[in-house]
Structure formats: structure tokens, C-alpha cells
Copies of this chain bind each other. A is one copy, B any other.
Amino acid sequence: MSEKREKLLKELYDTINEISVLGSCVSLLDWDERTYMPRKGSEHRGNQIALISGMAHEKFTAPRIGELINEIIADGLNPDDDSIDAANIRELKRSYEKYVKLPKSLVEETSKTVTMAQGIWQEARQKSDFASFKPWLEKVIGLKQQRAEAIGYKGVAYNAMLDDYEAGASTDDITKVFAGLREPLVDLIARIKSSGKSPDTGIITRNYPVDRQEKFGTEAAKIIGYDFEAGRIDITAHPFCTDIGPGDIRITTRYNPNHFPQAFFGILHESGHAIYDQGLIIDHYGTPCSEPVSLGIHESQSRMWENVVGRSRGFWKFWFPQLRKVFPRQLDDQTLNSFYRAINKVSPSLIRVEADEVTYSLHIMLRFELENMLIEGKLKPADVPEAWNAKMKEYLGIVPPNDALGCLQDVHWSYGSIGYFCTYSLGSMFAVQLWEKALKDHPTLPAEIEKGEFGTLLKWLRSNVHTHGRKFTLDELARKVTGEPLQSKSYVAYLKKKFGDIYGV
């Protein structure tokens, strides 16, 4: 490498590193706001986050960043090369060119609007009062449309939203993937329904004292690979995982004393996210190659541990006897099979976050379709409740009795996260696609999991997914690791086999 380029790269990386450190301070401010901050600290917390985020945005969109990127390319670095520097420059160029197009006024107005909208949404949901949220949804949609126009896009404006969460994804591609998923899911749900079987979930809704749930969940998280010397679990209303910097990846959960799966699978899910972040290479902290690639890939890691592993029969072959030791009174009359069936009960329900593996993606498709129509102007915010309920009826055969249990249930739209939902399903699909390949590479995986050993799978995920950072997009990573693009057939086959066995269909 030329001495000149080395100098330019150093200046660029040093600056980017500072921006990442600023971002990591915002992560802590946010984590604290959601866990321990006293109520009256709220206004000042807003000022702290606004100041640091603004500084980070200003630093990243400074002309010098653009100059450095261009000079490095002019010096001969090809962004399409296979090196780490090339991947960094490619990603930085992409982000820089995107963010520099955003007028400061739009960034500020969006930030203020979504802060307000979240409060309004919270109250609207409590009162199931869509009318009070409607003007804010209109404002958010309007701002997102402006954002898309400012940034620019190929095809439809919704592609600009997708790009924020899943680089390289397009509405067309996702529509196609979902199309391959919808019919098999609807069919499977119908067959499950007509099987007449309905596992007894009373077993998992007995009283499970929270302190023991906490101990058991933490132990499981530790054993699948979440390093607690570089992380911790706290309690929040809405569980999340956050990256506060190298050596500090935290998760949260919520315990329900009368519903064992909620916290346990929540912990496995968030641990999956955390294990991914803990597996990023931190030598180049702050550069794209040390960052997670996309929400879809991130979600594939959480769903891998929560569902593919955590809700499998093999997993509980080892863990059920442990669980019974911790909760003897609750489980002594139960068998591995009755427990396994209870945690995998399929039943169309109103709330996305409580949905089973089979019905889950239908909740996502509904949102994906409505968001598309909203951004394209084909659906007015005012008509969302009606459209929501119609799709619920069509896909799941049930209609929410009110908007709190319908279109007001998720926080995402209030904070402007349009284009986010689909990554949940992409992640679920990709988890199974990765699992198939891991299984091909290591046929002993199921036997290991039955013995409570997760090292081989973790190692495989580390080298095939985690260590790449943002070097590859979801599609590139899928092709590189599994030899084919992201597809739904593996996921469909997995669901058919698993739930076919459980329900005898």
C-alpha cells in the first residue's frame, strides 16, 4: 500500500472510530433510559442524546470524509476488491453518499417528530385510540417519503426504507420471497387446525417464580455462548440487545411469573443477538468491518438460538430434566414431549410478538404490505385500521376486537422504522438456511445439542457469519455460505417437518 493511502486510511479510520465511540455513548444513554433512568431525567436525556447524535451526524457528513474516500479510491483502492479496506471504503462511501444528501432540517424534524410520536402512540395504544395517533402516522409517513426523495432510490420509494435495515434488499425480491412463503404457511395452518389437536399449554402457564426463571435463563444463555464478562441481563418492558462497545453487549428481558416461555425464549433470542455482536472482530472497532451487516442477518442469529435450537426437541432432551429440577412442583407430572408440544403450540393470534413460528411470518407480511401501500400513497393512514383487520381476517382468520390489539400494537411506526418488520422474517428464513448448511458441515450437531453442547455450532457461526462484519450483504453472505441466495424453501420444509411431526399432519 502506498504511504499516501496508508495516511489517508488512518485519518479516515481515526475519524470514523470517534464517530463510533460517540454512537456507543448514545447506546449507553439509551440503555440507561430504558432500564434505570429516573422518570424526571427524561427531558435532559433527550438533550444528551440529541447533542451526541448531532455531533456524530455532523462529523460523518463533513466534507473531509467525502474527500478522504475519494482520495483513497483515486489512489487506486478498488472498493470492489476483496480486502477489508475495500469493504470498509465501499460501505463508508455508500453511507456517506446517503447521509450527506439528507438536509439537516429533515433529520432534526424527523428526530423531534418521532420523539413526540412515541409518546402519543403509547397513550393511543393504552386507550386503543387510533384517531389520536393518525395525524402522527401521517407526519411520519410524510417525513419518510421526503427522506426517500432526498436520498434517491431505484424502483419504488419503499426501497429507500429497506436500505436502512437491509442493504441491497428490494421490495420486489422480498415480495417474491414472501410469495413463496404465504401459501405453504396458510396451508400448514389449515392442516394443523383441522388436525383437531391442541397441546395443553397449562403446563407453561403455571406459577414459575421469577428468581428461579432468572437463574435458569442466565445459565442457559451462558452455556449457549453469551459471555457475561462482556454482557449482562436487565429487566425492561420491551426486551432488546444493545452494543455499547467491545466487551460490553447487553440484553434485557421481562419476566412473567405465569408464563415460562416469555422470558426464557426472550433471553435465548436476545442472547443470539448478543453472541453475534460479541463475535465481531474488534481489532478495527469503529469501521464497517467490525459492525453487524444487517438486521436480517442479526435476526437470523437470534432466531437460530431462540427457535431452531431453543424450541427443538433435542435442546430440551438435555434441558428439560434440568428445568424439572429447578421447578419440580410445576413439572413433575410432565414429560419431555408434553413440554415440547406446549412450547410449540400453533394458534393464530392477534399479537405479533407472541406468535408461534408458523403464524409469525403472516404478521410480518401484513405489515410489509401495508407499509408498501402507505409509502406509495395507495393506502391512507386513516384507512390503516380497516386494511389491517381485513388482512388479519384473510391471513389468520381472526379480527382484532380493537386497534390496541390490532394496528396500534407495535412501536415501530411511531419511531419511524418503516421497512424494519420484514427483516424479522428474513432472519427466520435465513436461520434455517444457515442451519441446513451447518448440519451438512457437522452432522453431529443434533447429537451435541442433545447433550447440551453448543460449541461446534457457535464456532461455525463465528467463522461463517460473525467475523465478517459488514463485509457482505445478506444476499452475498447467503450465497457465500450456503451456495444460494436467501430462499424460503428451507424454512417451509423445516416448518412442515417440525409441525407436521407435532400435529401428525
Contacts and interface: CB of A to CB of B under 8 A. Distances in A.
Interface of A: 18, 21-22, 24-25, 28-29, 32, 36-45, 47-48, 51-52, 55, 227-232, 234, 244-248, 250, 285
A209 to B, nearest CB: 16
B232 A40 contact: no
A47 B48 CA distance: 18
B38 A228 contact: yes
Q: When A and B form their complex, which 10 residue pairs have the shortest distance between CB atoms, in order from nearest?
A: A41-B248, A40-B247, A44-B245, A40-B230, A41-B247, A39-B229, A21-B51, A40-B229, A44-B246, A38-B230
Nearest to A42: B247
Contacts of A45: 245, 248
Contacts of A285: 44
Given A38-B228, A232-B38, A248-B38, A44 B24 contact: yes
Contacts of A246: 40-41, 43-44
A496 to B, nearest CB: 41
A428 to B, nearest CB: 29
A25 B48 contact: yes
Contacts of A234: 36
Given A38-B248, A39-B247, A47-B245, 18 more contacts: A28-B29, A32-B32, A36-B234, A37-B248, A38-B228, A38-B229, A39-B229, A40-B227, A41-B230, A41-B244, A41-B245, A41-B247, A43-B246, A44-B244, A44-B246, A45-B245, A48-B245, A55-B55
Contact of A21 (B22, B32, B47, B227): B47
A237 to B, nearest CB: 17
Q: Of residues A24, A41, A228, A230, which shows the largest number of chain B Cβ atoms within 10 Å of its Cβ?
A: A41
Nearest to A282: B44
B24 A48 contact: yes
A248 B44 contact: yes
13 contacts: A22-B51, A22-B52, A25-B25, A25-B29, A28-B28, A28-B32, A28-B48, A38-B232, A41-B244, A44-B246, A44-B285, A48-B245, A55-B55
Contacts of A250: 38
A111 B39 CA distance: 33
A36 B232 contact: yes
B25 A52 contact: yes
A43 B244 CA distance: 12
Nearest to A55: B55
A29 B21 CA distance: 12
A402 to B, nearest CB: 32
A38 B227 CA distance: 10
B48 A21 contact: yes
Contacts of A21: 44, 47-48, 51
A287 to B, nearest CB: 15
A279 to B, nearest CB: 14
Contacts of A232: 36, 38
A304 B12 CA distance: 53
Contacts of A51: 18, 21-22, 25
Q: Of residues A18, A45, A55, A247, which shows the largest number of chain B Cβ atoms within 10 Å of its Cβ?
A: A247
Contacts of A52: 22, 25, 52
A42 to B, nearest CB: 7
Contacts of A48: 21, 24-25, 28, 245
Contacts of A38: 228-232, 247-248, 250
Contacts of A55: 55
Contacts of A36: 36, 232, 234
A51 B26 CA distance: 13
A228 B40 CA distance: 9
A298 B245 CA distance: 34
A25 B37 CA distance: 13
Nearest to A22: B51
Contacts of A227: 40
